[in-house]
Structure 1
Amino acid sequence: MSKQALIIIDVQNDYFENGALELVNPIEASLNAGKVLEYFRKNSLPIAHIQHTSANPEALPVFVEGTHGVEIHENVKPIAGENVFQKNYPNSFRETGLGEYLKENDITEVVITGMMTHMCVDATTRAAFDFGYKCKVIGDACASRDLEINGKTIRANDVHHAFLAALEFFYAEIKSTEEFLSV
């Protein structure tokens, strides 16, 4: 039988209005992540909060320790007893205790929410799959931003859906919050 854990990636204040790296629709994504979080709390299932901290704040002044921006957003704030893993890389497994935590709890399936879809959600989902976990990404509980390449702007909605489509091709099952909670 599958045993699930929730991974909430980088839902931090710097991604919200007036933050250092504002995303498109972070409130909606965080509210949906909060609904999934409540489901895991209600069912006493393992929860892993991931918090990015800047390894080099001079290069990119985002998620700087001691600032409001680095704090986990109030919509998914950890409560006593919930694990918070700090990371410095897009992959939530790299140089954190996340992998050990999942093994200690005999987890076979991870449910992933968070920010940014095209970076840390993508990297963590692919790593989780490579470590042997069945992955579900809650697409509407994730958010992205506009990206630019070769003078072209790719809209956040397109970035978000392209990365979800790529993950669903091989690495993960993509669900909406409503679909996940209705099972």
Structure 2
Amino acid sequence: MKDLVEDARAAGYNTPLGAGTRPAVLVIDICAAYVTDGSPLRAPVEEAVRAAATMVKSARTSKVPVLFTRVSYRPGSTDGGLFRRKVPTLSVFEEGNPLGEFLDDPAPLPGETVVTKQYPSAFHGTALAANLTAEGIDTLLIVGLTTSGCVRATATDALQHGFRPLVVADACGDRDPRLHEANLYDLNAKYADVLDLDAALRVIEDR
């Protein structure tokens, strides 16, 4: 991986964006579906969930905004369109299914923003960009699930909407570590800064 990073840097990739002046923590789709045995989306993400909870706790202590996303579909509807046709197991996110519920930690507190989405990116078809702009937020510390899916899509769209995406590697997870590492490498090369947990916590503490 080190050689790949050096090769990318030599080719003009991996230029750091850095944090702006007003960060927020964006928690992507951390829910029961990924940690419940028997769930079709079960993945080895417990450590990532714990790291995400650490990020949320630090943000709240430092008065940094925390936002959550969730996926929700109406049963029998066309919500999610071709995405649901491509990935039928997304049916676990139909309203009323407990697999779509937040965990005990991290979970949104009353008053914190919850973005309900139907596609991978938290920006697609939602008011997230407008809400961030209204709050003066220019940087997103992105944590959650999964690295190759909704984390990647959200980080890429954040860049395209003019927000600085900082993906917290230790606080994201996937069903296969190879997918996790490959997507972090590519995100860091072209679309985001990828930080470890300690570096991400310093962004919060130093704001």
Q: Structure 1 length normalisation: TM-score?
A: 0.88
Q: Distance in 2 between matches of 1:158 and 1:21?
A: 17
Name the counterpart of 1:35. Answer: 54
Name the counterpart of 1:132. Answer: 162
Query: Could you tell me the percent identity over the aligned residues?
Result: 28
The count of corresponding residues between Structure 1 and Structure 2 is 172
Name the counterpart of 1:152. Answer: none
1:178 aligns with 2:198: yes
- SS for the counterpart of 1:163 is helix
Structure 2: runs of 5 or more not aligned:
1-19, 74-78
1:166 aligns with 2:186: yes
Contact 2:141 2:200 in 1 (8 A): no
- Which amino acid letter does the alignment assign opposite residue 163 of structure 1? N
1:1-183 equivalences in 2 (<5 Å): 2-18=21-37, 19-24=39-44, 26-54=45-73, 55=79, 59-60=88-89, 61-145=91-175, 156-182=176-202
Contact 1:46 1:105 in 2 (8 A): no
- SS for the counterpart of 1:75 is coil
Name the counterpart of 1:153. Answer: none
1:35, CA displacement in angstroms?
A: 0.5
Structure 1: runs of 5 or more not aligned:
146-155
Contact 2:67 2:108 in 1 (8 A): no
**Greater helix content:** 2
- SS for the counterpart of 2:102 is coil
Range moving further from structure 2, 110-119 or 173-182: 173-182
- SS for the counterpart of 2:141 is strand
- SS for the counterpart of 2:182 is helix
**Greater strand content:** 1
Q: Distance in 2 between matches of 1:9 and 1:116?
A: 8
Greater Rg over alpha carbons, structure:
2
Greater than 4 Å deviation, 4+ residue runs: none
Higher relative contact order (CA 8 A, sep 6+): 2
- SS for the counterpart of 1:129 is helix
Q: Distance in 2 between matches of 1:143 and 1:37?
A: 16
Contact 2:155 2:192 in 1 (8 A): yes
Q: Distance in 1 between matches of 2:105 and 2:196?
A: 18
